[in-house]
């Protein structure tokens, strides 16, 4: 059996980071594509309503603005959820996890210093 070198380990870590980046990139691009498609469909639908005289142009623009704002917030929440799930799946620590570790290190450091004295 061959032993892994430090260089091999670094290359494996780089590949993992690259894979994470690529997965996150695909999720973001898919989300952007879905949002763009939905925006086009909303605008087409509202434009047809205006053409048929079912709503006024002013009301149509207001409606599109309201829907776009609400949909944007919902899309952002969904994107955050998907990215969070991806990071969990890849076992990437969260900021909260790192903060907890930092606190534990601080406590342990204080104990080590107390033992030195």
pLDDT averages per 10-residue partition of the chain, 117 residues: 68 70 75 74 85 86 83 78 81 88 95 90
> Which tokens sit at 70?
């609400």
- Residue 2: what pLDDT? 54
Instruction: Give the pLDDT of residue 107.
Output: 96
Could you tell me the two tokens for 73? 């917030």
Q: What is the pLDDT of residue 47?
A: 86
Q: What is the pLDDT of residue 98?
A: 92
d(CA 44, CA 46): 6
Q: What is the Rg, in whole angstroms, of the alpha carbon atoms belonging to the chain?
A: 25
Contacts of 20 (CB under 8 A, 6+ apart): 86, 90, 92
Tokens of 78: 């969904």
For position 111, what pLDDT does the model report?
A: 94
pTM of this structure: 0.42
Q: For residue 6, what pLDDT is reported?
A: 73
For residue 23, what are the CA distances in angstroms to 51, 64, 86, 96? 42, 32, 8, 22
């Amino acid at each position: 059996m061959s032993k892994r070198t430090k260089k091999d380990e670094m290359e494996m870590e780089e590949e993992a980071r690259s894979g994470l980046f690529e997965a996150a990139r695909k999720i973001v691009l898919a989300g952007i594509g879905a949002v763009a498609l939905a925006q086009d469909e909303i605008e087409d639908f509202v434009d047809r309503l205006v053409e048929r005289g079912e709503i006024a142009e002013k009301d149509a623009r207001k409606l599109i603005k309201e829907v776009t704002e609400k949909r944007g917030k919902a899309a952002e929440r969904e994107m955050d959820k998907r990215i969070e799930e991806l990071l969990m799946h890849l076992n990437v620590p969260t900021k909260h996890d790192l903060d907890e570790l930092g606190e534990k290190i601080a406590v342990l450091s204080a104990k080590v210093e107390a033992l030195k004295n």
